[in-house]
Chain A
Amino acid sequence: MGNKLDDLLENGPVAINIGVQDFMENLKIQGSDVLQVDWAPPAVDDAEMLELLDKLL
């Protein structure tokens, strides 16, 4: 337990940014390895349906 958080502190952040693009750009400026996910709200706005879709995909 605690190993993945320990890894993060030991090796520094290698990040995937989901949302505000400025966060990705500022991580990059600081020399961090980072990728941006071009997130969009799900087409279906129904929690139950989304859960089913998550399981299927």
Chain B
Amino acid sequence: MRVAKRLTEQKGVLQAAALMGTEKNKSLLAEIGVAGKEISMATPNDLILAVKAENQQVIEEVLGNIDRWLQPPPDRAKTIPLRTLEEAIARLPQANLAVVSVPGQYAAREAQKALAHGLNVFLFSDHVPIEEEMSLKRYARDHGLIVMGPDCGTAIIGGIGIGFANAVRRGPIGVIGASGTGIQEFTTLVHRAGSGISHALGTGSRDLFAAIGGISFLSALEALESDHQTQVIAIIAKPPDPLVLANLRPRISRCPKPVVACFLGLPSKEFLAHVPGQIARTLDEAATLAVQLATGKTPPSFNIEPSALPVLIRRERAGMNPEQKYLRGIFAGGTFCYQAQQILKEAGILGYANAPLEGNKRLPDSHRSIEHTLIDMGADEFTAGRPHPMIDSRLRFERLLAEGQDPEVAVMLLDFILGFNAAPNPAGDLVPAIAGAKQEAQKRGGYLSVVASVCGTEEDPQNLKEQIKLLKETGAVVFPSSAQATQFCALLLASGKKRG
């Protein structure tokens, strides 16, 4: 990941990827037009470094430096490395958690070893076969352990963030989440509403699928029920398989603590009628409800004052050309892309996406937007061999500039995710692209509205206030949550229709 980032940062490098030579990775590279004899000959034990540059000289420079970049930093090289889990356990016998982020095809093996040594597992790796997930989770359940994952981005345990997590206050609200950015948004909103988080346990994105049946979900529920700090339990997930829900329902209904359920993705009324606990439609609603239940008080609103919205809409609309009518949502967080599609659909706005919610169309080419388009830049087609957009803004930067060239774009919707392990300056990374896209619109005699949300807290390493300030200085309208930013975009588009 570090090498890939370093490569993309080199002057003159247009695209770069660093990944192991597995068949899956090779086909992902082929999809983005990177192929050749050396690549087809690579084995899973080879590292493929693919670089597309402005000229041969840049390639020569990269090749000249690559051995040095692959060396560990000097401070790390000094310590004697631990080669195996067993060596680490011998040094840290009180260990109670393994954090596993090795490539998917090796991840289950490492996770199983950790479980066999009595460690809970946070499994960040994705591309783990579902049969292996099932076997790991069954083993964990039978031995009083949990597997958070695979594809688990976020957890918070006793105030310690694991993976992509924010610095949030400790408090009475426990979370079970199948979505990393969903957990991040929920926990930061709870923090901003003055309350806090006891623990947030990730389950992995497939835990509520029929094949798994919610094994980690149930372990998490049981643990949060008996946890003294936790007074309210929030569930953040896409709608589960109906059979899984039917099985979980009586169990959730028996929960002695209040439950708030947020199943993103427009679940049907029939579905919602079967969900026990209080229902929240968005992450914002879930946070407000959970804080209300935990404190007995309505939390101070983290919404922008509604009376301020018409003024903002007029301001953002004023300079637009009549042909500017489309929204482009360019997301780092997959859940934000999903939630935005839900909110826009409710507002009657349908379009294209690379991971479409029912009602929207799949983009034929993820790299080219059509009409209203919402893009999850963390999807496989963008992250093969490259760091996730939460770590490296390069691809989002380029996409913003490309969207800026389209005279029909009226508004750009962006998310910025702060916290541990995220980029040190996510807003700062994209500010030049925002400014560039706005300038392009201005040159055409129009105005590009950029609407953003920042997920984070002032205790995060990036500092929430500073990030918001940077975005506002570039002329972006900044909202405290992705749901509100999306709702504002819907209002802005509707106002254009009325006018047109």
Using CB atoms and an 8 Å cutoff, list the residues of chain A in contact with chain B: 1-24, 26-27, 29-43, 45, 50, 54
User: Is B158's CB under 8 angstroms from A19's CB?
Assistant: no
Of all chain B residues, the one with the shortest Cβ separation from A11 is B96
A4, A17, A41: the one within 8 Å of B103 (CB): A41
Give which listed residue, A2, A11, A14, A23, contacts B163 with CB less than 8 A: A23
Task: Provide a sorted-by-A list of 11 A–B residue pairs whose CB atoms are within 8 angstroms.
Answer: A4-B96, A4-B145, A5-B120, A13-B160, A15-B96, A18-B100, A18-B102, A19-B99, A32-B160, A45-B43, A45-B45
B47-64 CB contact bits vs A (8 Å, 1 = yes)? 000000000000000000
From 164 to 193 in chain B, residues with beta carbon under 8 angstroms from any chain A beta carbon are: 167
Interface pair B97/A16, CB less than 8 Å apart: yes
Could you tell me if A39 and B110 are in contact, using CB atoms closer than 8 angstroms? yes
The answer to whether A8 and B99 touch across the interface, beta carbons within 8 angstroms, is no
- Evaluate contact between B124 and A23: CB separation under 8 angstroms: yes
A5-B120, A33-B94, A35-B92 known; 9 new pairs, CB 8 Å cut-off, are: A5-B223, A9-B157, A12-B158, A13-B157, A18-B99, A19-B102, A30-B420, A35-B91, A37-B85
Q: In the complex, what's the smallest C-beta–C-beta distance from B152 to chain A, in angstroms?
A: 12
Q: Is the CB of B420 within 8 A of A26?
A: yes
Q: Kindly name the residue among A13, A18, A26, A33 whose own CB sees the greatest number of chain B CB atoms within 10 A.
A: A18
Interface string of B70-102 (1 = CB under 8 A from A): 000000100001111101110110111111111
CA–CA, A40 and B162, complex, Å: 22
Given known A-B contacts A7-B96, A23-B162, A43-B45, A16 and B144 have beta carbons under 8 A apart:
no
| A4 touching B120, Cβ below 8 Å | yes
Q: How far is the CA of A17 from the CA of B382 in the complex (A)?
A: 26
Is A23 within 8 A of B83, CB to CB?
Answer: no
The verdict on A19 contacting B101 (CB below 8 Å), with A8-B96, A31-B160, A41-B44 known, is: yes
B113 beta carbon closer than 8 Å to chain A: yes
Whether A9 contacts B97 by the Cβ 8 Å rule is no
- B496 contacts chain A at the CB level, 8 A cutoff: no
Whether B299 is near chain A, meaning CB under 8 Å from some CB there, is: no
B89, A26: Cβ atoms under 8 Å? no
By a beta-carbon cutoff of 8 Å, the part of chain B in contact with chain A is 1, 20, 43-45, 76, 81-85, 87-89, 91-92, 94-103, 106, 109-110, 113-114, 118-120, 122, 124-125, 141-146, 157-163, 167, 198-199, 219-220, 222-224, 226-227, 420-421, 461
**In the assembly, what is the distance between CA of A41 and CA of B109, in Å?**
11
Who on chain B is nearest to A40 by CB? B83
A8 near B120 (CB under 8 angstroms)? Answer: yes
Known contacts A2-B219, A22-B421, A37-B84; decide if A16 and B110 are in contact (CB<8 Å).
no
Cα distance, A50 to B108, chains bound together (Å) = 12
A1 to B76, alpha carbons, bound, how many Å? 39
Residue of B nearest to A20 (CB): B101
Bound-state CA distance A2–B142 (Å) is 9
Given contacts A19-B125, A41-B20, A30 and B160 within 8 Å (CB-CB)? yes
Contacts of B158 on A, CB cut-off 8 Å? 9, 11-13
Contact A16 B88 (CB under 8 A): yes
Given that A9-B199, A14-B94, A27-B162 are known contacts, is A2 also in contact with B144, CB under 8 Å in the complex?
A: yes
Known: A5-B219, A22-B421, A27-B99. A16 touches B85 (CB 8 A): yes
Question: When chains A and B are docked, how far (Å) is the Cα of A37 from the Cα of B117?
Answer: 15
CB atoms of B113 and A27 under 8 A apart: no
Q: Are the CB atoms of A30 and B99 closer together than 8 Å?
A: no
Of B45, B83, B114, B141, which one neighbours A16 at CB under 8 angstroms? B114
A9 interface neighbour in B44, B76, B223, Cβ under 8 Å: B223
A45 nearest in chain B by CB position = B44
Contacts A16-B119, A42-B106 given; does A37 touch B88 at CB 8 Å: yes
Q: Do A13 and B219 touch across chains, with their CB atoms under 8 A apart? A: no
B120 near A35 with CB under 8 A, answer no
Give complex CA distance A16, B91 in Å: 10
Tell me the nearest residue of chain B to A22, going by C-beta. Answer: B421
| Complex Cα spacing A38 to B110, Å | 13
Contact A2 B101 (CB under 8 A): no
CA distance A35 to B478 in the complex (A): 39
- Residues of chain A within 8 A (CB-CB) of B220 are 5
In the complex, chain A residues whose CB is within 8 Å of the CB of B125: 19
Complex partner residue of B144 from A5, A15, A38, CB under 8 angstroms: A5
8 Å CB contact of B118 from A4, A12, A34: A4
Instruction: List A contacts of B96 (CB < 8 A).
Output: 4, 7-8, 11, 13-15
A38 lies within 8 A of B421 (CB): no
- Verify B143–A4 contact, CB threshold 8 A: yes
* B101 touching A16, Cβ below 8 Å: no
* Chain A residues, CB < 8 A from B101: 17-20, 23
